[in-house]
Amino acid sequence: MASMPDASNLPWWRGASIYQIYPRSFQDSNGDGVGDLKGITSRLDHVAELGAEAIWISPFFASPMKDFGYDISDYCAIDPIFGTLEDFDALVARAHELGLKVLIDQVYAHSSDQHAWFAESRAAKTGEKADWYVWADPKQDGAPPNNWQSLFGGPAWTWDARRCQYYLHTFLKEQPQLNLHNVEVQDALLDVAKFWFERGVDGFRLDALNHAMVDPLLRDNPPAPEKKGQRRSRPFDFQTKLHSQSQPEMVYFAERIRGLAESYGAIFTMAEIGGDNALEEMKAFTLGDGRLNSAYSFDFLYSPELTPKLVAEAMAEWPGDRGEGWPSWAFENHDAPRAVSRWCAPEDMDRFAPVKMALLLCLRGNPIIYQGEELGLEQVDIPFEQLQDPEAIANWPLTLSRDGARTPMPWVDEELGGFSAGEPWLPLGEANRAKAVSAQVGKPQSMLETTRRLLAIRKGSPELRHGSFELVQALHGVLVFRRCLGDRCVLCAFNFGQDDAPMPPEAKDMARLASINGASGRVLPGLSGFIGKLAV
């Protein structure tokens, strides 16, 4: 068994439950149909009462909104649609009053093409910021410099007549790639980090961090082998991204980020790492005490089904060895479809949702709850004429719209859901509106109240926050594992199938912490879960 640290000496973030807020869709305070910072502040009591320990807020920075805030035109300004810096300061102050830590996104792989840095860089091939972005001459026939493809479709290069060169963009053409091989660019981004640390934020989620540095030689990517059953809807899917991302030098910039965070009091840093070699890179970015605190795993976000085998394999990769980083887990987010819509039949959603939540909160690592997940919200089918997501529009109908998971939070069971006094930027979805906070609060068996109880159990159980993961069973739809700290253990059992299954013999003498859908120390009915403390 891996050696376990003394839980009393661990930092606040280790094992903390994090609540993700997508600001456009959380709460609108001024009736324009788009959520904002004042709206978030007005609803922080909901998050605190839920029992989460930190909030992560997706981008709210100045932006032309080509990719809804992930195209930043000023890293240190609030977009007017979301409010002002004073509104942000008030949000941080209120969160801290409620005992909530505040994490925000930092986007270092690219900026908006409207950023002042890019305007200066594209003006000429010489100058102070000429090398702040990834530029390249065309081939002799005028073609792009290599075969790299954009994740959003088409070549990852766009011709710029001002410089008579191509610039790189892994995502939209309005999101030019920053050149992080340039130390001056790194310094400028660290200055951005300082700005937000000094405004009181408690940490960062670092967006698409392994996309932030590319091969300086701009070599072609090799073709990707076709996988059985794989549907490749974009040119991006036909390549192995050997040279266009995931460069080993990025870990040294991660060390600089961690060093800066430490100077502000061991602030939490969590990287988003996706792609074909995600696990290897997550390990590298979080190795030892000098790199990032955690990495955000994609193991579950795009999985078409939830199985005991999937969970067991994901946990086995993070056994807690000395020097190993700390994982973070999410089942859904603003980019990934709602899990209840992926992982169960529509008629099973109400029974499945609390089992899924219990599992998330029993895993070793930081659980991340996406807004509305505590209500059991499902994916909304957005018709083409109402789509806002640029990726979905570009690749329609082959790419599932991210808009379906970004629909506004339903606070009351009314037409506009209590989200806004005006027409919401996306429809709420009739089924989700019926799952509003007002329809669930105070009802003991509701998804909302179940989530509150489960979060309280996690917060009060050092074994669940910090303990080891010991697999007992992962077979025939049944998953059983222990979370142990010293000589104390919590047994966690889940049945993802429809038929009853027996519990392990040791369970009959447990003190029950939680029972989902009729589970007991002796039997696990179909779609149920059980959490119990084992006798010492």
146-205 pLDDT, tens digit per residue, is 999 999 889 999 999 999 999 999 999 999 999 999 999 999 999 999 999 999 999 999
- 449 pLDDT higher than 50: yes
Query: What positions carry a catalytic annotation?
Result: 207, 272
pLDDT for the residue numbered 38? 98
Residue 110 one-letter amino acid: H
Res. 234 pLDDT band, cuts 50 70 90: confident
pLDDT band at 2; cut points 50, 70, 90:
very low
Q: Which residues contact 132 (CB under 8 A, 6 or more apart)?
A: 117, 118, 120, 121, 178, 179, 182, 184, 185, 188
Burial class (CB within 10 angstroms; exposed 0-12, middle 13-18, buried 19+) of 242: middle
Is pLDDT of 4 > 70?
no
- Mean pLDDT value of segment 418-436: 96
Contact 66, 73 (CB under 8 A): no
Q: Is residue 481 helix, strand or coil?
A: strand
Q: Could you tell me which residue, 294 or 227, shows the higher pLDDT? A: 294
Res. 37: pLDDT tops 60: yes
CATH topology classification for 7-109+182-456: TIM Barrel (3.20.20)
Q: Given this model, what pLDDT does residue 536 score?
A: 57
DSSP 494: E
pLDDT in tens, 246-275: 999 999 999 999 999 999 998 999 999 988
Is 211:245 a contact under the CB 8 Å cutoff? yes
User: What was the pLDDT predicted at 285?
Assistant: 96
Whether 7-109+182-456 shares its CATH topology with 467-533 is answered: no
Burial readout 72-107 (b: 16 or more C-beta within 10 A, e: otherwise): bbbbeebbebbbeeebbeebbebbeeeebbbbbbbb
User: How many CA atoms, within 13 angstroms, populate the side-chain half-sphere of residue 140?
Assistant: 0
Q: Which residues pair with 392 in a beta bridge?
A: none
Q: What is the pLDDT of residue 7?
A: 61
pLDDT for res 6: 59
Q: And the tokens for 381?
A: 């089918």
pLDDT tens track for 48-75: 999 999 999 999 999 999 999 999 999 9
C-alpha to C-alpha distance for 397 and 388, rounded to whole angstroms:
14
Q: Is residue 478 predicted with pLDDT exceeding 80?
A: yes
What is the pLDDT at residue 260?
A: 97
Amino acid symbol at 267: I
pLDDT of the residue at 452: 98
Confidence of residue 131 (pLDDT cuts 50, 70, 90): very high
pLDDT band at 1 (very low <50, low <70, confident <90, very high): very low
Spacing of C-alpha 201 from chain mean position: 18
User: How high is the pLDDT of residue 152?
Assistant: 86
Domain residue spans of the chain: 7-109+182-456, 467-533
Question: Is the predicted pLDDT of residue 229 greater than 50, yes or no?
Answer: yes
pLDDT at 44: 98
Lookup result for tokens 């008579």:
164
Model confidence at 3, in pLDDT bands (50, 70, 90)? very low
Q: What is the DSSP letter of 43?
A: T
CA gap 131, 120 in Å, rounded: 10
When the candidates are 3.30.1180.10, 3.40.50.150, 2.60.40.1180, 2.40.50.40, the CATH number that belongs to 467-533 is 2.60.40.1180
pLDDT at 236 over 70: yes
From residue 40, alpha-carbon distances to 108, 130, 256, 327 in Å are 24, 39, 31, 27
Q: At a CB cut-off of 8 Å and minimum separation 6, what does 339 contact?
A: 300, 306, 331, 332, 356, 373
Query: So what's the pLDDT on residue 499?
Result: 95
**Model confidence pLDDT, tens digit, residues 110-119:** 999 999 999 9
